[in-house]
Amino acid sequence: MTATATSPVLANDFYAPLKARAAEIEAQYRNLTPVSAGLFEQSKGLFPGGFTRDAVIRKPYSPFIAKGEGPILTDSDGRAIVDFWFNASSLPLGHADPRVVAAVNRQLGLGTAYFAPTETELALARILCERLPSAEQARFANSGSEAVMIALRLARGFTGRDLVVKCEGSYHGAYDDVQWSVAPAKDKFGAPDSPVPVPDSAGLPESSDRILVLPYNNPEILRREVRARADRVAALIIEPLANRMGLIPPTPEFLAAARELSDEIGAVLIFDEVIAFRLGYHGAQGFVGMTPDVTTLGKVIGGGFPVGAVVGKTDVMAASDASRRERVTHAGTFNANPVTMSAGRATMEALTPDVYDSINAKGAKMRAGLEAATAGVPLTITGAGSFFKINATAEDITDYRTAVTVDGAWEEVLSLGLFNAGFMLTPHLHGCCSAVTTDEQIDGFLAAFTDLITP
């Protein structure tokens, strides 16, 4: 039970003491970030609501950042903050890695974009095709959202069908056909075995006839519903690490059912690895031991620059072959631009198996420390590889319906308190480690976390 204005705080309400400190923690934040507060006031006149990027929205306002180096952010007020999210996990080498900076600087002197291909895009594509079991050919884009859009278009072009199957609670970017049931309200999402497609944004066209929303990690329902629409399903798109649901992986049974069904009905199995590719040297598909037909990529492969990519089996990718009369088209002025390709190549070459092992060991150390710190209290720790997530619930999180049991207000207060202590996570406590994260920084974070949750 959560305390309200009309009910007394129960002695056993774990979340109440920290939430009772919300005004105090916000006041401390405002005192620490007056420059950011002033910049936010300026931004409100330039951007609707003061933000041009939804992912960084934070109450009462987001800190403005002046510099990033290694694992440290310096905000506009001059405070050093240990980063545990690295621009939504896109910087596994940390900020301003010297190898990436050198590669970009070399390219800047040669030009930033040409109306022609470059050798660097071949090099990065070759690395991706060598590392990912599903990758035989590739196409580059400028964001993960665009990569998903092209992947679904390829699947529809390849199969001649229109229906896309996605999971409730999964985010696949800002694209109309998948921005459904990402975070639906409890009074709208329907029965557990038959979720209602709920738009995640105003302004979306009606897409219920083109999208089928099913529960994550429920192979029985997946089999039943897909087989009932076998002649219409073009693609099943799955996150092999579900970010919005608490950075949880799919069960082997769920993945096996998705692979089995795709083969059975001739649909395209797509792994959205825009975030999950960070799990290992061979991506999430190597981590979970399952090969999709197509993979969407972003974040990590751009070395800190805007990027997206679709990689997949030759027969599916051939739907975009320029020699075909009827084909899936995909243009873009900055697709595979040499600056991004240079940064991505430098990053991927630096991410050796040993480096992945080191980053993942740091993630494991963080999760183990959090598990120890939360023993006996209603908090759940999830994540894999270098990722971790603190969930304000005692539930075992396996899908969206269990993920929404969290006390979101408590998570936001804790996140702000951690920022005051010098640590950056998302407002809902998603985090990750990088190659430059130190044991001392992990220990410092765990100490600050323990102090905040202790009444």
Domains annotated on the chain, with CATH: 115-350 (3.40.640.10)
* End-to-end CA separation in angstroms for the chain: 17
What single-letter amino acid sits at 446?
Answer: L
The pair of structure tokens assigned to 347 is 């990053």
Question: CA-based Rg of the chain, rounded to a whole angstrom?
Answer: 22
Half-sphere exposure of 354 (CA within 13 A, CB side): 1
pLDDT of residue 207: 67
pLDDT of residue 371: 98
Q: Are 182 and 169 in contact (CB under 8 A)?
A: yes
Strands 211-214 and 163-167: parallel
Cis peptide before 60 (omega within 30 of 0): yes
Rounded alpha-carbon distances, angstroms, from residue 387 to 78, 114, 432: 28, 37, 4
Q: How many angstroms separate the CA atoms of 314 and 317, rounded?
A: 5
Q: Are 86 and 386 in contact (CB under 8 A)?
A: no
pLDDT of residue 260: 98
pLDDT of residue 208: 66
pLDDT of residue 293: 98
DSSP string, 13-49: -TTHHHHHTHHHHHHHHHHH-HHHHHHHHHHHHHSGG
Q: pLDDT tens digits, residue range 377-387?
A: 999 999 999 99
Say which DSSP state 77 is in: T
In the numeric block, the tokens 């089999």 are attached to: 223
Residues β-bridged to residue 212: 165
The pair of structure tokens assigned to 92 is 């596994």
Phi, psi of 225, rounded to the nearest 5 degrees: -75, -35
pLDDT of residue 4: 35
Q: pLDDT tens per residue, the chain (455 residues)?
A: 233 333 334 445 999 999 999 999 999 999 999 999 999 999 999 999 999 999 999 999 999 999 999 999 999 999 999 999 999 999 999 999 999 999 999 999 999 999 999 999 999 999 999 999 999 999 999 999 999 999 999 999 999 999 999 999 999 999 999 999 999 999 999 999 889 999 999 998 876 689 999 999 999 999 999 999 999 999 999 999 999 999 999 999 999 999 999 999 999 999 999 999 999 999 999 999 999 999 999 999 999 999 999 999 999 999 999 999 899 999 999 999 999 999 999 999 999 999 999 999 999 999 999 999 999 999 999 999 999 999 999 999 999 999 999 999 999 999 999 999 999 999 999 999 999 999 999 999 999 999 999 98
Sheet architecture: strand order including 137-141: 137-141, 308-312, 294-298, 268-272, 233-238, 163-167, 211-214
Taking every pair of Cα atoms in the chain, the longest distance, rounded to a whole number of angstroms, is: 71
List of long-range contacts for 396-399, beta carbons under 8 Å, 24+ apart: 397/245, 397/246, 397/248, 398/216, 398/217, 398/248, 398/251, 399/167, 399/168, 399/169, 399/215, 399/216, 399/217, 399/218, 399/245
Q: How many angstroms separate the CA atoms of 83 and 85, rounded?
A: 6
Q: How many angstroms separate the CA atoms of 397 and 147, rounded?
A: 28
Query: Would you call 350 helix, strand, or coil by DSSP?
Result: helix
Give the angle 11-21-431 at the CA atoms, nearest 5°.
100
Half-sphere exposure of 370 (CA within 13 A, CB side): 25
Task: Write down the pTM of the prediction.
Answer: 0.95
Q: Are 379 and 454 in contact (CB under 8 A)?
A: no
Query: Would you call 195 helix, strand, or coil by DSSP?
Result: strand
pLDDT of residue 1: 29
DSSP string, 362-426: HHHHHHHHHHHHTTTSS-EEE--TTEEEEESSSS---SHHHHTTS-HHHHHHHHHHHHHTTEE--
